Amino acid sequence: MNEQSIQQVLIRISPTPNPYAWKFILDRPVLMQGKATFSEESECGSHVMAKDLLQLQGVTQVHFFSNVITITHAPEVPFDTLSDLVSAVIQRDMPIHNPNITAEDEKQKKREGLSPELRQIEDILDHTVRPGLQGDGGDIEIIKYEHPQLYVYYQGACGTCPSATEGTLMAIEGILKDEFNPEIVVVPIN
């Protein structure tokens, strides 16, 4: 355990475009590589903090990326009530949290077996769409491509954001039409 992990975690809370998702920006890394999204305790594996956050009443999803934890909550749970609880879990669990839990770059490993078309789409999303989504506490995952339909899954704050299914989706589709295939249709799945 290093000195930084013993000190109180400095947390800045920031809204996202999703009214039910908030970013908790920490003064230290949550993940050194990749990203991780959890919607059920069974998905957490050795991520104790993710499991503990999902146990809070009203938390529906936890997204780890770099030094950010994005918490998505049920609409009926006021965020003011939840923010102190989330901060307390982060303070309690951070000293035992391992940001190196993803030793391999999962993105690269996952992409090795992709078709050239899917690799090209991933590259386009990496340099156009993902920086904005990740800046808002979310991300997008490609599920499959069946010409001309590309099935995607929104993660983190994007998962339940009203603009993700409208404006953001149209922007993603427009970019992919310009840079990949003018016939592509992007279909979000839950």
- HSE of 125 in the Cβ direction (CA atoms, 13 Å)? 22
Q: What are phi and psi of 56, to 5 degrees?
A: -70, 135
Query: Same domain for 87 and 142?
Result: no
**29 and 54 belong to one structural domain:** yes
Same domain, 24 and 59: yes
Q: What CATH number did the domain enclosing 28 receive? A: 3.30.1370.70
> Longest C-alpha distance within the chain, in Å?
54
pLDDT for the residue numbered 104: 45
Whether residue 101 lies inside any domain: the answer is no
Burial environment of residue 77 by CB neighbours within 10 A (0 to 12, 13 to 18, 19 or more): middle
- Do 114 and 87 lie in a common domain? no
Task: Give the CATH number of the domain where residue 113 resides.
Answer: 3.30.300.130
| Domain membership of residue 71 as a residue range | 3-96
Residues 53-110 have pLDDT tens digits of 999 999 999 999 999 999 999 999 999 989 999 999 999 999 999 998 764 445 566 6
Amino acid letter at 14? S
Q: What pLDDT is stored for residue 79 in this prediction?
A: 92
Nearest to 115 by CA among 139, 140, 147: 147
- Does 81 lie in the same domain as 120? no
Is the same domain home to 89 and 124?
A: no
Mean pLDDT in residue range 40-44: 90
Higher pLDDT, 8 or 102: 8
The 10s digit of each residue's pLDDT in 112-164 is 888 999 999 999 999 899 888 888 888 899 999 999 999 999 988 888 787 77
